[in-house]
Structure formats: C-alpha cells, structure tokens
Amino acid sequence: MAAKLLLALVAVLSAVIVNHIAKIISAAGVLKHVYNHVPGTCRLVPGVEQGSEDIALTSSGLAFISSGLLPPGFILDPVYYTFEQKMLVFDFKNPAEGAKEIKIVLASGEDFMPHGLSVYEDDSGEVRLFVVNHGKGHRDSVEIFRFDAASNSLHHLKSVKHPLLYSLNDVVATGPETFYATNDKYTTGLYSRMAETWLLLPWSNVVYYSDGEAAIVADGLMYANGINISPDGRFVYVANPTTGVVIVYHRQDDNTLTFSHDITLHTGVDNIYVDATTGDLWVGAHQKPIQFSVHMQNASYPCGSQVLRIQDPATENPRVTEMYSDDGQAGLWGSSAACYLNKQLLIGTVNHRLMHCTVDVPL
C-alpha cells in the first residue's frame, strides 16, 4: 500500500517537473531558430557601446536613452563593471548627428544608474523625464528631471523613494509626479533573483505612485518588465519576457488596473514604446533569452535582437508584424527597446550598441 502511494507520488512529482522543464525550455527560447531581416538601411549609431536599455521620446522628436546599466539579477562579465552610467539624447530630426551625452545636474553624492524611462509633457511646455535609478546597495528610486533643451541638460526635481519601489525595472508617468512602475522581482539578492526566475515564481508586480503613497495595482506576475500606457491613458501595457506576453490592462478611474487580455508573442519581450499618433506598440525583444543570459556572463558571446510592432493592441485582434530580426550577425546584441518616428527606427540594447534603421516597408 505504502509502495503504491509512493509510486503515485513519484509519478505526480515527475509530471510536475517535466511540465516545469517544458515551460523553461519555451521561455528560454532554446528550440527557436532566428532568421535575419531588416526594414530598410540599418547602421549602428557610433559611440554607443555600453548599452541603450530604454528609449523615451518627446513630442519634438528627441529620444532620451539610458546607458551603462548593470541589470540586477544576472551573473555579469567583469567588463560590464567598467561601464559608465549616463543619459544620451538622439534627435530624430537630425539622425546623422547620432547620440550625444546629456549633462545631468544631480545632488552631489547621489548614485546614478538609469534603467527604465518615461517622458511626461503637459500643456505648460515643460518636458519631464522619469528615470528608474538603481542606487548602490539595492536602493531603487524614481528620479524626476526637467529637460532643459537650451543647455542640453537634465535638472533634478525630485527623488521618489518608497518601500513598495524595491526592484524597479520600468516606469510610465501619468502626471507631473505620478506614475506606474514595475517591480521585476521580489528579492534583491543575485541568487535569490535567479531562483525566482528559474523556479518561475510569480512574485513580480506593478505599483502606482502618487503623492507619497504607493499601492500594488497588479500582482502575481512572472516578470513585469517594460510598462507603458495608451495615448488616451485608458490602457496600460506590461511586458512579461518569461511568459512571452504583453499584458493589457484597463486603467480604472482610481488608477487601479484590471486585466483585459494577453497579446501572446512567444518571445522575450522587454520594453514597450507607444506611438502617440497610432497607438501602435513597438516592442524590443530577446528571441532566445537563454542566449541573452550567456551574453550577460560573456560579453563576446553574440545574441539576437528583435523588434515587433503591434497594431490595435487594445482590441481583440491585435496585428503583429516583425520589423527587425537578427541572430547577432548584424552586431546588435540584446535588443530591449525600439522607438519609431517618421520612417525611422531606433533600437536599443541592454548593454551593447544602438542601431538606427530607415523603415522602407509599408506600415
């Protein structure tokens, strides 16, 4: 009797393990083959070699780019520790000028390691930039800057810290000092974060911050990574690279989120850019996250890049088009962000280079 019970237990356990392994294989993209294609003429933007993890665009065509990120939770090749953290700006109206460093005016002694970005513009004409900042010792905050075009500098306005902002990845501004942010993991230690990933623990969440208060508005996510909002503010999009899905939420009047639907993409979706005119989503993704992990440990190991465009994301029938795909041979490794304006596409990577493409295909 006891032996039969044991056998049954073993059978159930092995089924659970096999199922888990299948999920990991799918999430890691191990069995995927990546094909190469470009939407037009592509060239690497000179001088950007230490990452361009997120890109946020202003209404005048200026793209802010975060650079020098050491993503928490990865075993990193020592060479990445030599990277300099900075903010860059790329002008879509003058693409030939490439990306320039922006001067950051921060209180002295502040650590600065920028990650996710969001631009906030209102009728006052002021351009604000919200930046996820990883301070040393796992102290995360959202820094709010005012952009001064004349001096090409970011003036620090406020540093938002809160106990519920503890493992930040991306942010999307909803007001001059309010925002949604993603906590991509629950723990902060390197190995505990890796365990959260490999054990597929759904401990990631989305938080809303306003006026000193913060609340969890979406919970039980596998990996809340990039976050953005529809032009009318009614839908919030969250990228989940582990499940390969963009989650679409309804935004309620009280700023809470209710689940609407998933857009299944079967790829490691990272950051989401929303086209202000069409509402299209442009997603930077890692086709084979396992390759990306290896690239984190070994800086000379190539990994692929992918950009997907999603039309009608808030409807029941989103249309997905692959705008760019590369297995690493083009020299752009680990795409995490894509920004589109006026037949030009800018593709950012977690800690590699930045690519500019013309878009010569019909949209």
Partner 1 sequence: MPGEKMASKLLMLFVPLAAFLFQRLFQPSLQFGDHRETVYNHVPGTCRPVEGVVHGSEDIVRTRDGLAFISTGLIASPVFNPDPWYLQRKGKILLFNLKNPEDGVRELKIEPREKYEDLQPHGLGLYENQAGEIRLFVVNHLKDGERVEIFRYVRPEGKLKLIRSVQDPLLYSVNDVVAMGTDAFFATNDHYCRAPWAKKLERFLGPAWSNVVYYNGSVASVAADGFSVANSVVTPPSGEVVYVSDSLQQDVKVFRPRPDHSLELQSVIHLFTGVDNLNICPDTGDLWVAAHPSVTDIFKHIQDRRHLAPSQVLRIQDPAGASPEVTELYANDGRQLNGSSAAVVYNRRLLIGTVHDTLLYCDVTVPL
Distance CA 318, CA 338 (A): 18
Q: Of 92 and 324, which has the nearer Cβ to partner 1? A: 324
Window contacting partner 1 (CB under 8 A); options: 43-51, 55-63, 194-202, 323-331: 323-331
Which is it for strands 99-105 and 153-160: parallel, antiparallel or unpaired? parallel
Joined together, the tokens standing for residue 31 give 């069995």
For residue 48, the cross-strand partners are none
Establish if 320 lies at the interface with partner 1 (CB under 8 A): yes
Letters for 36-55 (x = contact with partner 1 by CB under 8 A, - = none) are xxxxxx--------------
Q: Which stretch binds partner 1 (CB under 8 A): 93-101, 167-175, 225-233, 321-329?
A: 321-329
Residue span binding partner 1 (CB under 8 A) among the ranges 55-63, 84-92, 125-133, 322-330:
322-330
- Per CB under 8 A, does 23 bind partner 1? no
173 binds partner 1 (CB under 8 A): no
Catalytic annotation, residues: 115
Amino acid at 109: G
Closest CA to 36 of 349, 334, 330, 332: 330
Residue written as token pair 């013309």: 358
Residue among 288, 342, 353, 273 at smallest CA distance from 32:
288
Q: How many residues does the chain have?
A: 363
Q: Which amino acid, 129?
A: L
SS3 203: coil
What binding mask, one character per residue, do residues 272-301 give for partner 1 by CB under 8 A, x or -? ---------------x--------------
Out of 308, 332, 346, 347, which residue is the one contacting partner 1 (CB under 8 A)?
Answer: 308
Q: Which residues bind to partner 1, rule: CB under 8 A? A: 7, 31-33, 35-41, 266-267, 287, 308, 319-323, 325, 329, 360-362
